[in-house]
């Protein structure tokens, strides 16, 4: 028996364990020279990814939209496990979307902005990315910067990330600003910014499912 639609939510990397230790790759954190962020100037990408992802799940639940969080509460569980889990549960639904939530970093720590990635070629993932790009623009306006690749006529960037190519359902990976840039990281710590990013995802899910 298949029931309607499900959203598979993936908070990138690992988070804080019960001892308060950040259990993920060292590159997924940054110590700013000023400000407090998550702890003593440290910004933990995986912690932020979870804050946003759980906010999205809460909104979807409130709107009666099935969703499954495929990332672990804090473990940096493998991408294969996350994707296998989504693909297994997807067999019980007619349609689905996979959304991987991240924040970016650059070697110069100067890069800023919002990006959406899809797999290469034109698929339903591009449709979701287009809808989401518009929603984020509507909801965030000029509060944030945007990075886009318009060489192929759309706003999303293309990459062969595991979660984009091995998922059975359309998938997008979102890089929410750059956590190693002080100004972007400060935006990410603003609860209203989190709320607006989450609201944009809820609207994107509804609009995409309405097109099917």
Q: Which residues bind Zn ion (CB under 5 A)?
A: 12, 102
Residues with Cβ within 8 Å of 12's Cβ and at least 6 positions away in sequence, in order, are 28, 45, 46, 49, 71, 100, 101, 102
Instruction: Tell me whether residue 12 or residue 170 sits nearer to Zn ion (CB atom).
Output: 12
Report which of 176, 177, 174, 183 is spatially closest to residue 205, judged by C-alpha positions.
Answer: 174
Nearest distance from residue 3's CB to Zn ion, in Å? Answer: 31
d(CA 12, CA 136): 20
Give me the residue whose beta carbon is nearest to Zn ion.
102
Instruction: Tell me whether residue 102 or residue 112 sits nearer to Zn ion (CB atom).
Output: 102
Residue 140 Rama label (left phi>0; alpha psi -120 to 50; beta): alpha
Radius of gyration of the chain (CA): 16
Nearest distance from residue 195's CB to Zn ion, in Å? Answer: 21
Instruction: Tell me whether residue 14 or residue 170 sits nearer to Zn ion (CB atom).
Output: 14
Nearest distance from residue 102's CB to Zn ion, in Å? Answer: 3
The CA-based angle 15-19-24, given to 5 degrees, is 30
Residues with Cβ within 8 Å of 42's Cβ and at least 6 positions away in sequence, in order, are 22, 29, 30, 31, 32
Phi and psi, residue 169, nearest 5°? -105, 160
Secondary structure letter of residue 197 according to DSSP: H
Instruction: Tell me whether residue 12 or residue 96 sits nearer to Zn ion (CB atom).
Output: 12
Instruction: Tell me whether residue 6 or residue 56 sits nearer to Zn ion (CB atom).
Output: 56
């Amino acid at each position: 028996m298949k029931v309607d639609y499900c959203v598979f939510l993936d908070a990138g990397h690992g988070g804080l364990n019960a001892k308060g230790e950040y259990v993920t790759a060292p590159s997924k954190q940054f110590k700013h020279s000023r400000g407090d962020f998550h702890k003593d100037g440290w910004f933990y990408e995986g912690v932020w990814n979870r804050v946003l992802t759980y906010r999205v799940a809460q909104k979807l639940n409130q709107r009666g939209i099935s969703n499954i969080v495929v990332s672990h509460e804090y473990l940096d569980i493998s991408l294969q496990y996350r994707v296998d889990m989504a693909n297994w549960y997807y067999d019980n639904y007619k349609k689905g979307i996979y959304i991987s939530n991240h924040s970016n970093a650059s070697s110069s720590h100067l890069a800023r902005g919002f990006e959406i990635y899809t797999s290469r070629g034109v698929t339903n993932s591009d449709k979701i990315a287009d809808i989401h790009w518009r929603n984020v623009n509507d909801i965030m306006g000029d509060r944030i910067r945007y990075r886009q690749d318009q060489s192929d006529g759309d706003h999303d960037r293309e990459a062969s990330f595991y979660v984009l190519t091995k998922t059975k359902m359309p998938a997008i990976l979102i890089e929410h600003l750059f956590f190693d840039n002080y100004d972007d990281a400060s935006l990410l710590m603003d609860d209203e910014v989190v709320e607006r990013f989450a609201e944009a995802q809820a609207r994107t899910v509804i609009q995409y499912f309405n097109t099917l």
